[in-house]
Amino acid sequence: MDWFVTIKRYYDMGIYKKDPKDPLYVGKFCEFGKIALEQYQAITGVEYPSK
């Protein structure tokens, strides 16, 4: 499965969000190792927030 393509599609559809408080936060996929930080930026247009 190509996680990047799937997550990008759902983000573009408005399902996944870039708000860390949202349960459908795109950053969760970085935390779970499914996409790289660079891919997060490609999907959302912003850098992954550092903790």
Residue 27 near residue 20 (C-beta atoms within 8 A): yes
Q: Measured between alpha carbons, how far is 15 from 50 in angstroms, rounded to an integer?
A: 23
Q: How far is CA 46 from CA 1, 5, 6, 50, in A?
A: 24, 17, 18, 12
pTM: 0.89
| Residue 51 pLDDT | 62
| Residue 17 pLDDT | 97
| Residue 50 pLDDT | 77
| Residue 49 pLDDT | 87
Residue 40 lies in a domain: yes
Residue 51 lies in a domain: no
Query: Could you list the residue range(s) of the whole structural domain that residue 38 is in?
Result: 3-44
- Total domains in the fold of the chain: 1
Write out the chain's pLDDT in tens, 51 residues.
899 999 999 999 999 999 999 999 999 999 999 999 999 999 999 999 876
Residue 50 lies in a domain: no
∠ CA 1-23-17 to the nearest 5 degrees?
A: 70
